[in-house]
Amino acid sequence: MNEKITTFLNSGLLDKYLLGETTSAEAEIAESFIARYPEIENTYNIMQHNLEVVVKANAVEAPKSILNNILDELDNTPVVKLNIVKKYKKWYKFSVAASVAALIFASSSMYFYDQNQKLHSETLVVDDEINDLRGDIAKNNEMLDSVMRQLLKLNNPETEKYIIKGNERAKDLKTVAYINPSEKTSMIDVVSLPELPEEQCYQIWAELQGKMVNLGILDKADRQLRSIPYMEDALALSITIEPKGGNTIASMQNSVAQIKLQ
């Protein structure tokens, strides 16, 4: 890798371009390097994949009820049309017309008052929904910060990626482990886990000095990128089928996946 490519990768411009934080001039520079150098294009593609992994792992479906409730409230707000029709009466009916007009005015005033109170109540409901939405936005911002931290870990050149596939007993099993020896961190992304009977579960282990160390249970309902204990000098990772709740000793006769570590 020549010095020009190394300098560009160390500048952080590729990371900014991936996250959409570059100026137009910086974007042109990044796109030029991606187009000219296959090494940079390959690095960019890997970073895009890592970003997709992190976003998928932290994705939370936005609640549909909030916007729908607001729109429903606005749609149900009454629209009052006033039609003023002038009717000319003879002079001897003026007093009767005035009385009727007074009654109509009183009834209309009461109607508008009731509608105003109802609209006020509906406005309070909408305000509550908006406050809830703001709370969700704050939570999403916190989640975004977490995503960025995870993305930085995945894009770290020291992070090693291990794809763990199932054997004949669990052909559809697939998980991806990300291990960074320099930062002493380990993460795992559960891609797919075959169904198990209710009384069983999948458990992941690290082989360390002839012992199997428990790293936790893999739950199909918890498909997300998450941290697992880092085991220094671990030789391999194994996944076994254990009784529900996990086991203290690995049942290697029920091993469904294993991968050697560098």
Instruction: Provide the number of structural domains found in the chain.
Output: 3
Rounded mean pLDDT of 206-230? 86
Alpha helices in 59-93 (DSSP H): 64-75
Choosing from 27, 58, 89, the residue where a domain stops is 58
Q: Are residues 183 and 253 in the same domain?
A: yes
Choosing from 124, 153, 182, the residue where a domain stops is 153
Computed from CA positions of residues 47, 48, 53, 56, in that sequence, does the dihedral angle turn out positive or negative? positive
Buried residues in 208-225 as b, exposed as e (16+ CB within 10 A): eeeebebbeebeeeebeb
Choosing from 107, 133, 153, the residue where a domain stops is 153
220/212: higher pLDDT: 212
**Residue 94's beta-bridge partner residues?**
none
Q: Are residues 142 and 190 in the same domain?
A: no
Place 219 in a pLDDT band, splitting at 50, 70 and 90: confident
Rounded mean pLDDT of 58-72? 58
Q: Are residues 75 and 127 in the same domain?
A: yes
Q: Give pLDDT, residue 72.
A: 65
Q: Are residues 86 and 143 in the same domain?
A: yes
Q: Give pLDDT, residue 166.
A: 94
Q: Give pLDDT, residue 174.
A: 93
8-state DSSP, 52: H
CA distance 24 to 29: 9
Q: Give pLDDT, residue 11.
A: 86
14/154: higher pLDDT: 14
Rounded mean pLDDT of 227-239? 92
Q: Are residues 37 and 101 in the same domain?
A: no
Q: Are residues 86 and 132 in the same domain?
A: yes
Q: Are residues 69 and 148 in the same domain?
A: yes
Q: Give pLDDT, residue 83.
A: 45
**pLDDT exceeds 70 at position 2:** yes
110/132: higher pLDDT: 132
Q: Are residues 104 and 140 in the same domain?
A: yes
Percent of the chain residues topping a pLDDT of 90: 29
Q: Are residues 211 and 256 in the same domain?
A: yes
Q: Give pLDDT, residue 156.
A: 80
Rounded mean pLDDT of 83-108? 47
Q: Where in the sequence is the domain holding 41, given as residue range(s)?
A: 3-58
pLDDT averaged over every residue in the chain: 78
Which residues 6+ apart lie within 8 Å of 89 measured at CB?
A: 97
**pLDDT exceeds 70 at position 145:** no
Q: Are residues 69 and 123 in the same domain?
A: yes
What are the tens digits of pLDDT across the range 175-193? Answer: 999 999 888 999 999 889 9
Confirm if 224 and 252 have CB atoms less than 8 A apart.
no
Q: Give pLDDT, residue 144.
A: 62
Q: Give pLDDT, residue 70.
A: 57
Q: Are residues 76 and 49 in the same domain?
A: no
Q: Are residues 168 and 240 in the same domain?
A: yes
**pLDDT exceeds 70 at position 35:** yes
What are the tens digits of pLDDT across the range 74-90? Answer: 566 554 444 433 443 44
Q: Give pLDDT, residue 248.
A: 93
